[in-house]
Amino acid sequence: MSIRRARRIAALGCVVVCALAATEGCLTRPVGLIDPTTKISFTNVLKQSTVDKVDLLVVVDNSSSMGDKQAYLREAVPDLVKRLVQPACLPEGGGAAVARGGDGECPAGSKPEFNAVHDMHIGVISSSLGARLGNMCDPNDKRYHNDDRGHLLNRAGADEHAQAVMGASSYLAFLPPVAENASKPQPSGATAIVDPSALVAAFQDAVIGVHQNGCGIESQLESFYRFLVQPDPYDSLDASSGVGAWVGVDSALLKQRHDFLRPDSLVLVLDLTDENDSEIDVRALGGQGDLFMNSAWQPPHGTSQCGADASDPACVSCSILPDPSRDASCAAPWSKPTEWGFDANLRHVHMKEKYGVDPQYPISRYAHGLSSLKVPNRDGEYPTGAHRYVGNDTCTNPLFAGQLPDGSSVDPEALCNLPRGPRTADMVYFAHIGGVPSALLHDAPDDPKRGKLDELDWKRILGNDPEKFDLSGIDPHMVESFSPRAGLPGPQSASNADAISGRESITDASGRVDLQYACTFALPQPRTCADGDLTCDCAGAIGRPSAQVPSVCDPKSPNVQSHAKAYPTVRELLLAKKMGDQGIVSSICPAHVTEQSPGDPLYGYRPAMTAIVDRLKSQLAAQCLPRPLAQDGAGAPCQVIEELPANLGIVKCSDQPGLVALSAQSQKQYDAQRLRDNPSVAAKDLPLACELVQIGSDPKASCANASEPGWCYVENDGACAQAIRFSKGGTPPNNAKLSLQCLEAL
């Protein structure tokens, strides 16, 4: 080992850098020769790796008014499934996609844009988590689906029939009889679907089966977190002691999670909603957070400073002031029920500004849950004596575990201390189809920024710094307000005065309390609303002054709904922003509500499906070295350096199997380059760098299935002419960076 390592640092012939985060991955960076000096040059970081399994969790808002949006998602399902199962054929020399041959294969001179997905799990959950100790969203009211508990749903189609293929664990499993599936086990708790068209039909049925009769206090983010991430999801909530508490463990959810989620799959959370996440943490405010779920309770105001600057320490709840009457804001009563501070359905909007407190979970909790190796269990979230969410990372994140509990035991230690699995953060994506105008995105096929958002785009969508209540630069359509917003056509304007949201309206009179819209879109078939129909936005509009009639209603027949609407989905969008390259955003308001030509790229939610697959394909595609590496009888004369994130707590290389310390010269060279690339970082703060050992010396034999930790160089393994592979036992830690340095003769 020492002889080979000494030779490696003698001269550097090529350098390729990548952040490889799976059991195998190929490198695409060109191998360029450099002079044999002590200077090390690095290319851009490559985060992608090749996977052959996809676990798709679809979160569908099932509150009223979602029926039209669910229908568009249903129509988009074939676009998503077909492209994953049968990727486009691209000419090897570059250019536009070409048609497949009559045999279904790519014609000569072309190849699939990525490896077809022949192993897929699809689960659907709703946004309804019940009353949360309040008096709304009664789970016992059988007319509604108010509490789906974050469980996978087996409600299919308009009649809500169960699908036999879902089985006991309520998910769809696609596993056709192709060569790469020959040795794979059959899905647990579901029946394998082998025909793509049958998968499409079952998926479409599952989307419509969610329905639109669920809780109006939506918990889109908490529902997916509860299913995928929470180590010990509660079985019930209790306030008998006077404070909100989690009780028991939901063993049925653990069983579904165990059967649905594989340790080595690419995971996509797809969220469809027209309203902002509204989840209330019942344990917040010393266990009094559930009061915000009581429609009869009148929340206290925030102090006057809250309206000016909610980040100011003087912005607190009037309830904690010795003499609230001395503050003008505290002395003012709510104008119930026609004010958003009192209305139960709008309490979640701008909570700190209105009340001086925010009993919602921080968005960082969800971003952390989708990317971190460790997360808090309930005790880590609220350590003894805590009155607010803390979030100490105490347990293995189930999303990154190698083996999941099946619910047969709910021992806290067993739920917490799970073995580490091969999945890493770059294999988890969050896609949001929500309340943001398509005009603020880049959906057009000819847009050079298609599917990508830069800081200026995010500023228009969320403002300069929404977590510090700085909304400067935000587009007016994205401002959450129950009053008409500046810069947009006012309440007396025509209903179609604004191409994006229609117009503003008066929402704080005659019992109508609502938010202004982020966007609207024309319904293919207008509908007449009956009074009392909660799924229809124009119910009861006849007889109201025109300024109070929502812009989605026909001005000539106010009880006829001509358009659908969406509110700014700020929390979900902020999560997508925090996810960086792993976040995908599309508008729930289609740019084209009818297909203007076959394959219209802007019809319905086709832009969302395109953006999703375009982002995933970097993980699904085989990524190969552009030319062979020299061999010396002991393998490739290369060195893989692994940077270990500081949050892993690893202080020396020998603490990790397969890693050894760098030689003094390699360490000096590598540190010098890192400091040049990151001049603001001190040398003492550089992450620990180690060498991952090379195993195997035959380029015809892959080490991908080896239990011994390490890497190997392979040629002609089916996916690549030449590539780097990592053994099952050599999976890099979460978020690790690896650089491949090859010492070929000049």
The residue among 729, 693, 739, 738 whose CA lies nearest residue 712 is 693
The residue ranges of every structural domain in the chain are 2-50+623-742, 54-235+248-274+572-620, 490-563
pLDDT at 515: 95
Which residues sit opposite 40 in a β-bridge? none
Sequence-ordered list of residues with C-beta below 8 angstroms from that of 211, at least 6 positions apart, any chain: 62, 67, 145, 155, 160
Residue 30: the pLDDT is 34
Contact 261, 267 (CB under 8 A): yes
Residue 222 Cα distances to 60, 129, 130, 227, 355, angstroms: 13, 8, 12, 8, 22
pLDDT computed for residue 733 by the predictor: 65
Peptide bond into 107 cis (omega under 30): no
- And the tokens for 109? 């001179």
Given a contact cutoff of 8 angstroms between Cβ atoms, the answer to whether 394 and 379 are in contact is yes
Distance CA 249, CA 251 (A): 6
Half-sphere exposure (Cβ direction) of 707: Cα atoms closer than 13 Å: 0
CA 360 to chain centre: 18
Rounded to whole angstroms, the Cα distance separating 52 from 25 reads: 12
Counting as low any pLDDT under 70, the low residues of the chain are 1-50, 510-511, 622-624, 626, 647, 718-720, 731-735, 743-746
**What is the value of pTM for the model shown?**
0.84
Predicted pLDDT of residue 743: 59
State the Cα–Cα distance between residues 16 and 30, nearest whole angstrom: 7
In 98-159, which ranges are E strands?
A: 110-112, 120-126
Q: Nearest-5° angle of CA 83, CA 428, CA 119?
A: 45
Q: What is the pLDDT of residues 551-572, one digit of tens each?
A: 999 999 999 999 999 999 999 9
Q: CA quadruple 402, 408, 410, 414: dihedral positive or negative?
A: negative
pLDDT at 356: 97
Q: What does the block give as tokens for 204?
A: 């479409």
